[in-house]
Amino acid sequence: MKKNNWFVNLGGGRKSAVVIFSLLFCLVFATYNLYAQTYVEHNIATMIKEVESNKLKAERKYLNSYVKVRGKVSKFDKDFYDKEYVSIIAPNDSSWLPKEIRCYTKNKQQLDKLFTYDKGDLITIKGKITEVDDTFTLTYTLIIDSIE
């Protein structure tokens, strides 16, 4: 009985080269798209107004999206689980209890870069929104991909 070993013996020639090239191209393209994230720039003040106006609508718009935001550093802190973060607010926000985007780092390099900023400095952050909340001060949670 003859086995069809098409995977091992593609028959040689141009067809084999085209098949192999196509598979490699698909693999490279898929890998590139996996790491080449597109970030949409948003105004923090607008994001805050949207969540205050309609949390569910803001959640549908922003949750799990990749954003680029520019804001003013309002504080460096640790959460209940001892995880470090930086909070940023709209650059012109001077309210007593500002609404914020809480930005969590992924690694020590990001944390070290954050330490080059001080409270009140302007910062641009790219990352993924992982939570939309309309509680007392917290409005959005973001996992940092990069700091500019």
Helices of type H across 11-137: 13-35, 44-53, 55-62, 108-114
What's residue 123's pLDDT? 98
Which residues, including other chains, have CB under 8 Å from residue 58's CB and lie 6 or more apart? 47, 50, 51, 132
The CA distance from 126 to 39, in Å, is: 7
What's residue 26's pLDDT? 46
CB 104 within 8 Å of CB 143:
yes
Q: In the chain, count of helices (H) and strands (E)?
A: 4, 6
pTM: 0.74
What's residue 92's pLDDT? 86
What's residue 94's pLDDT? 74
In this structure, what token pair is assigned to residue 54? 């309609």
Low-confidence ranges of the chain (pLDDT < 70): 1-35
